[in-house]
Amino acid sequence: MDIMFIVGAVLFLILAPILGGLLTGCDRVLTARFQSRVGPPLLQPFYDVAKLWHKEKAFSNPVEIIFTTAYLVLIAFSGAMLATGGNLLFVFFSLALAHTFLILAAYSANAPYAHIGAERELLSVMILEPILILFAAGCFLVTGSFDTYHMLIQDVPGIIYLPGVFIVFIAVLTLKLRKSPFDISTSHHAHQELVKGVTSSLSGRSLAKVEIAHWYEMMIFLSMILLFFAGYPVLSAVAIILVFLLEIVIDNIFPRVTWKMTVKSLWIVTLVFGVGNIVVLGILGGIV
């Protein structure tokens, strides 16, 4: 393994939570302005986590400590894998495993809210799975490998070949940024039936770990946009910012999307654009 890759992984591990926290802060300020409020300070997410970290250690089942740790470690691991230009499928499998641990943490709490939250988090993992596999398949058809590294050194940016997959990716990002649907697991909307669902029984350090993991995950998904615009750094940056703003707008326009609507709409989008894209690429015989 190249030394550059290791540097990349280390940089990601250090920078991702900082950037992720800042983005969350921006998000909260922007959303507040949308709703004619002033909103919290930009650094509020960091204050929150710092405060959570120093809270009393209390849990409804001690096993949640290890599960939330596993969640954080594996999400960070997936991000580091991605940053080294590693295998995309492996990154996705590792993410799925991380989420399994979060879901198990919610299950182990033995509380109705947490349980339903876990089930809905599981649904969101299920919604995401086909899209991720199609994404990986698309990369394979374009570069002949699952390695993100090959996607990054492409001459032609991936979006030319994978426009459909990109649309699907944007669509699922609302889910991954915990925007819509409002009633799924840890949506940031205050007024929802599950009181923060999957995390409702977590407190103190466990909750802090979940928050940090969430920052990592946000950065993982945003940096995947790079794969579509490889070779064009300015374009990539613009795309990432635009997508992020778009997500905040979508969130504020559709505040009451339920999980059933989400499953249906996202899978229809996946079938039409994602599968359609892969089928067209396949019929054309791939790029390699």
Neighbour count for residue 119 (Cβ, 10 Å): 17
Q: Which residue has the tokens 């596993």?
A: 70
What x-and-dash track marks residues 47-66 binding other proteins by CB under 8 A? ---------xxxxxxxx-xx
Q: Which helix (H) or strand (E) holds 124?
A: helix 112-143
Q: Are 218 and 210 in contact (CB under 8 A)?
A: no
122 vs 116: CA distance, rounded Å: 10
User: Contact with other proteins (CB under 8 A): which of 23, 109, 175, 227?
Assistant: 109
Q: Is 79 in the site for other proteins (CB under 8 A)?
A: no
What x-and-dash track marks residues 257-286 binding other proteins by CB under 8 A? ----------x-------x--xx-xxx---
| Between 1 and 38, CB nearer to other proteins | 1
Q: Is 253 in the site for other proteins (CB under 8 A)?
A: no
Q: Are 72 and 212 in contact (CB under 8 A)?
A: yes
User: How far, in whole angstroms, is CA 284 from its chain's centroid?
Assistant: 31
Cα separations in angstroms, 103 against 80, 195, 258: 22, 16, 19
Q: Which residue has the tokens 């590792």?
A: 94
Q: Is 155 in the site for other proteins (CB under 8 A)?
A: no
Residue 3: CB minimum distance to other proteins, A: 14
Residues that bind other proteins in the complex, under the rule CB under 8 A:
1, 56-63, 65-66, 69-70, 73-74, 77, 81, 86-87, 89-90, 93-94, 96-97, 100, 103-104, 106-116, 118-119, 122-123, 125-131, 133-134, 136-137, 140-141, 145-146, 195, 200-201, 267, 275, 278-279, 281-283
